[in-house]
Every structure is written in structure tokens, then in C-alpha cells.
Amino acid sequence: MRPDPPAKPWILRPAREPAQPILVSIPHAGIFVPDPIRARFASQAIGRLPMTDWHLDQLYDFLPEMGIASLVATYSRFVADCNRPPDGEALYPGRFETGFVPTETFDGDPIWSSPPDPEWIGAQKQAVWQPYQDRLDALIREWQLRFGQVCLIDAHSVSSAPNRITPRLEAEIYLGDRDGSSASSKIRALFKNAFEAEGFKVSVNHPYKGGYITHHYGRPPHVMAIQIEMAERVYLDEDEPQVRDPNLWHKTQSRLIGVFTRLIQGLRA
């Protein structure tokens, strides 16, 4: 069954008090695709929405109880990618990238039966991308005014299988701060240590340095932005990513709660 049309291109899960100086953005968990757009997909395989960060918003559903607000995109990244610049600016110059409205998957498969035209792409920017950015920007400003400094986390998941961007992923957590430009070394070390304390194998700024959200909003010292890419195998079966694995799910949630507990403690220090 396909999801009903969302009321907005984002869902805000507000923090319970006492709030923490942390915000989480989840731009690739959305799965809604309007039928006229779905009709333009190149194949049934594309209709299964590869490149989705499956269930990631649900995996992080403990955040509000910890005082952490999260913003979740409701539309598929195939409609408009909220973690890409709409002007086509390269985030990884010289490397294959999926665009604001991607035309190929990470494996090089075509997404569209005919390429989207500029007018259509502009419409997706106004309907989906811009409202998400506006709400995220407002949250960051609100939290910065409230706390003086805010830590913005852009949360993602990724298949471990090799593709056009990377060989098989061996680490479990990939942290990106645009090579130190979007967060301080202290914050980067705090994140790395928090994940490693929970037994995760961590890589920093390789092969993922962070996308548009990390690059655009990270403005140390007032806004520290870190991207988290989690290998899908950590919390689900990568052969059937739409289906949750209860054992992996509960184990990973427990470990993530431990990570965020350490992050909160570290930010207070």
C-alpha cells in the first residue's frame, strides 16, 4: 500500500523538556511519490525506491524523549533531494554524485523514462525542497538563540554493497564534517568516541564528508554540523531493507541511545 499524501514535506518531532542543544535532520527517509511522478519512473525497480534511508526516522524515534528535536522529510529523494544543492553545485568535485532531482541511482541505473525538464525541477524545489530548508533553518535559529550553540546532526543510512561511489563499506558509522569546516575537532572527537564506546567501527570524512545540509548549515562555533552515515546492515537486512529485523533493530536502538547519552553529556562538559 502506498502512503497517503503528506500534509507537509516535513514532519517535526519536537523535543520533550528539558531540551538539549542538538537537532537531527533526516532528509532521505521519505517514501511519498505523487502518482504522476511515479508514472515517469524508468522501471518497477525504481518504484521500490532504492537509495531510501529505510525506517531511519523510526530507528531514531527515541530522540524526543531525550530532549532532541528531529525534522524528517516525507517525500522521496527522487522527487527532490533535500540534501543536495538545487543549483547543481558539486559537493564532491570529480566524483559521481546524485543530483537535486537524481537521474541515476548509485549503481548507475536510470531513474526516469525521460529526463525531468527545468520547469518541473523548479516546481519540486518550491513544493518540497524549500519548505524543508526553511523549517530546518528556523529550527537552527531558534535553538541557537536558546542555547548559544547548536549541534546539527544530518542522519543517513547507506547500503554496504559496492557502487559507483565506493567499494564495499567495511566500517559501520561514517562521520562527516566537510574535512573540519562544519564542526570543531572537539565535536568530531566527541562523536567518534561516543560511537566507538558502543562498539561501532567508525570512519571519519572517508568516503563521506557530508552533503548539502552539513556544508550549508555548519558554521562553527555557533552551529556545529555532523553527518552520520550508518551502514544499513547495522540495523536491517540489506537484501530486504523494507522489512525490519526485530533483533537488529532493538540492539541498534539500544546502542544509539547510549551514543546520544554520551553526546549530551559531552556537550554539557
Residue 128: give its domain's CATH number: 3.40.630.40
| Cell numbers placing 267 | 556537550
Residue 58 falls inside a structural domain: yes
Residue 113 falls inside a structural domain: yes
What pLDDT is attached to residue 66? 98
| Cα 1 from Cα 7, distance rounded (Å) | 18
- Domain assignment of residue 184, given as a range: 10-268
Q: What is the pTM of this model?
A: 0.96
| Closest alpha carbon to 212 in 27, 69, 6 | 27
Counting residues of the chain whose pLDDT is more than 90, the rounded percentage is 92
What pLDDT is attached to residue 211? 97
Reported as a pLDDT band with limits 50, 70 and 90, residue 245 is confident
What pLDDT is attached to residue 244? 87
pLDDT at residue 4 above 70?
Answer: yes
At 219 the three-state DSSP class reads strand
Work out how many domains the chain is built from and give that number.
1
Give residue for cell 554539557: 268
Residue 2 falls inside a structural domain: no
What pLDDT is attached to residue 5? 79
The arithmetic mean of pLDDT across residues 167-177, rounded, is 97
| Cα 128 from Cα 126, distance rounded (Å) | 6
What pLDDT is attached to residue 1? 54
| DSSP structure class, residue 128 | I
For residue range 126-160, what is the model confidence (pLDDT) as tens digits?
999 999 999 999 999 999 999 999 999 999 999 99
Residue 264 falls inside a structural domain: yes
